[in-house]
Amino acid sequence: MLRIALQSKGRLNEKSLELLREAGISVEENNRKLLSKSSNFPIEVLYLRDDDIPQTVSCGIADLGIVGYNEVVERNHPVEVLQHLEFGKCRLSLAIPKYIEYPGPGFFDGKKIATSYPGILRSYFENKGIACEIREIAGSVEISPSIGLADGIFDIVSSGGTLVRNGLAEVETVMESDAVLIATPGLDEEKVRTADILMSRFTSVLRSRGKKYMLVNVPNEKIEEALKIIPSMKSPTLLPLADKGWSAIHAVVDESEVWEKADRLKKIGAEDILVLSMEKLII
Ligand code: PRT
Ligand code: ZN
């Protein structure tokens, strides 16, 4: 039985549970319980604050965890990063009041910076040989410059709206982050086997996100041209139609490219273009 630590509430909670659900793993909803077992997969979920997940996994109280990569780097506990999960995307950036001209990282020499991520910031400045005073605060970092607590901030940015609302401009991106699957180093063989199954299910779910299944009928003499427009993952499926001289092509395409591809296919004489949503792509 594997134990996986998930954020109990907050930005990553719902998406982590959704990933498990899409991977076919049913767990009882949180209901204020600390621990809940899956009814159809050898795993139990331990709900924690995100700050505690790296350490809990590092020392083996949980075998796996899903947490922001930023937390993994900041906490610096030995864990293995098994997989980037592509949700909870954000960046950690330096920002200063927007009316100040920014000459480059040297600006921060001798300045005070407020942050909840002192470890990442310290190593960034050490690498650049810049000496600044780091003021660690737990929350509302973005108001620090306006109340005179700091000259700039180092914080998580996603849309950038919080910075704009507080009169700040993002001047350096120090690191990119998304949710990651982490593991205790040196899991035993049986746990590694179960974790591998979990990871390959996650991979299937992630691969099918943003993809559509496209079916299109083309005159046989246009097949080659059509295949240039919709190259599939390996090779598209090609089926002869009852109507002689026509074939159907089935292919997996990025959702963002569906319209553009459909327009180009119509131009070369394709008909009956069908676009279906794709639930799973199991490889
Ligand atoms: O209670 P617990 O300790 O578990 O949660 P928490 O409050 O510490 O963390 P939470 O739930 O806010 O965030 C969990 C993780 O989500 C973070 O560690 C990041 O990996 C990821 N993430 C993704 C974000 C954001 N996007 C994000 N936008 N975490 C925080 N923010 C905040 C940021 O701190 C800033 O205040 O949103 C604001 C900026 O957002 P924009 O869109 O205005 O730029
Ligand atoms: Zn937290």
Q: What does the pLDDT look like over 18-72, one tens digit per residue?
A: 999 999 999 987 666 799 999 999 999 999 999 999 999 999 999 999 999 999 9
Measured distance CA(271)–CA(266) in Å, rounded: 7
Pairing, β 64-68 against β 2-7 = parallel
Measured distance CA(37)–CA(131) in Å, rounded: 49
Phi, psi of 186 (to 5 degrees): 75, 40
- Ligand 1 atom closest to residue 7's alpha carbon, by position in its atom list: 4
DSSP states of 138-192 as a string?
A: SS-GGGTTTTTS-SEEEEEESSSHHHHHTTEEEEEEEEEE-EEEEE-TT--HHHH
Expressed in angstroms, the distance from the first to the final Cα of the chain is 25
- Topology given in CATH for the domain delimited by 2-86+178-207: D-Maltodextrin-Binding Protein; domain 2 (3.40.190)
Ligand 1 within 6 A of CB of 138? no
Of 48, 50, 87, best ligand 1 pocket probe by most atoms within 8 Å of the beta carbon: 50
Ligand 1 within 6 A of CB of 93? no
Ligand 1 within 6 A of CB of 139? no
Higher-confidence residue of 13 and 31: namely: 13
Supply the CATH classification number for the domain 211-277.
3.30.70.120
- Ligand 1 atom closest to residue 158's alpha carbon, by position in its atom list: 44
CATH of 90-177 given 2.170.150.70, 2.60.220.30, 3.40.50.720, 3.40.190.10:
3.40.190.10
Ligand 1 within 6 A of CB of 116? no
In this prediction, residue 283 carries a pLDDT of 74
In this prediction, residue 31 carries a pLDDT of 63
In this prediction, residue 30 carries a pLDDT of 60
User: Which regions of the chain carry the CATH code 3.30.70.120?
Assistant: 211-277
User: Residue range 78-83: average pLDDT?
Assistant: 98
Model confidence pLDDT, tens digit, residues 180-225: 999 999 999 999 999 999 999 999 999 899 899 999 999 999 999 9
Ligand 1 within 6 A of CB of 172? no
- Ligand 1 atom closest to residue 161's alpha carbon, by position in its atom list: 43
Q: Which two tokens stand for residue 58?
A: 């590092």
In this prediction, residue 32 carries a pLDDT of 66
Residue 263 has pLDDT above 90, yes or no: yes
In this prediction, residue 236 carries a pLDDT of 78
Distance 6 CA to ligand 1 centre (A): 15
Output the residue whose Cα is nearest ligand 1's atom 11.
10
Output the residue whose Cα is nearest ligand 1's atom 23.
88
Distance 197 CA to ligand 1 centre (A): 29
Measured distance CA(262)–CA(218) in Å, rounded: 12
Kindly report which listed range (59-68, 151-160, 233-242) carries the lowest average pLDDT score: 233-242
User: Which regions of the chain carry the CATH code 3.40.190.10?
Assistant: 2-86+178-207, 90-177
Task: Tell me the whole-structure pTM to 2 decimals.
Answer: 0.91
Distance 89 CA to ligand 2 centre (A): 16
3-state secondary structure at position 274: strand
Output the residue whose Cα is nearest ligand 1's atom 20.
68
Model confidence pLDDT, tens digit, residues 225-235: 999 998 766 77
